[in-house]
Amino acid sequence: QVNRLEITPDKRFLAAAGNSHIRLFDVNSNSPQPVISYDSHTSNVMAVGFHCDGNWMYSGSEDGTVRIWDLRTATCQREYESRAAVNTVVLHPNQKELISGDQNGNIRVWDLAANSCSCELVPEVDTAIRSLTVMWDGSMVVAANNRGTCYVWRLLKGTQDNHQL
């Protein structure tokens, strides 16, 4: 089973996230075998992506964790506890924050410099967040939930202005 695909910034590798693992494939190879497998998650991996320099990868899993992986050493460097199955994770354009959405309806901003959650939003209690995206300039975050509702947060000079679509 494959839940998410993502290509590295240098276009050399394809990450395939599945049941408790992430497999990295060489896109220039005919081999069906992965170059490496990341197996520390204990449940479905629902999100995967890469830092712009390609040195690390992030993932989110139904095991309730968001993880950062060092691609040079193939090891998990950080783990953040979400307390609920993680459905989606995006990297903020500043490359210094991860934003995750979980099954309980929580959106968390993970400050990578502080190594902690810097903000938590709950647009609708107990309604799973299915998808997140961030505007290219970081000025807006949009979340969609299981009920088909989209929430928009405009990030203005340290304040948050939100509305529902």
Q: What is the CATH number of the domain that holds 131?
A: 2.40.10.480
Distance CA 78, CA 143 (A): 24
Q: Are residues 107 and 70 in the same domain?
A: no
| Residue at 87 is within a domain | no
pLDDT of residue 165 exceeding 70:
no
Q: Are residues 70 and 97 in the same domain?
A: no
Q: Considering only CA atoms, which of 133, 57, 138, 74 is closest in space to residue 101?
A: 133
Report pLDDT digits (tens) over 25-77. Answer: 999 999 999 999 999 899 999 999 999 999 999 999 999 999 999 998 889 99
Type of residue found at 130: R
Sheet holding 129-134, edge to edge: 129-134, 140-145, 150-156, 159-164
Average pLDDT over residues 75-102: 96
| pLDDT at residue number 58 | 98
- Residue 152: exposure state from Cβ atoms within 10 A (0-12, 13-18, ≥19): middle
Report pLDDT digits (tens) over 128-153. Answer: 999 999 999 999 999 999 999 999 98
Domain boundaries, position 15: 1-81
Q: Are residues 99 and 164 in the same domain?
A: yes
Strand partners, 88: 101
Type of residue found at 22: I
| pLDDT at residue number 164 | 60
Q: Are residues 99 and 154 in the same domain?
A: yes
Domains identified in the chain, total number: 2
Q: Are residues 100 and 33 in the same domain?
A: no
Q: Are residues 126 and 154 in the same domain?
A: yes
The answer to whether the beta carbons of residues 67 and 111 sit under 8 Å apart is: no
Q: Are residues 66 and 137 in the same domain?
A: no
Name the helix (H) or strand (E) containing 127: none
Q: Are residues 18 and 55 in the same domain?
A: yes
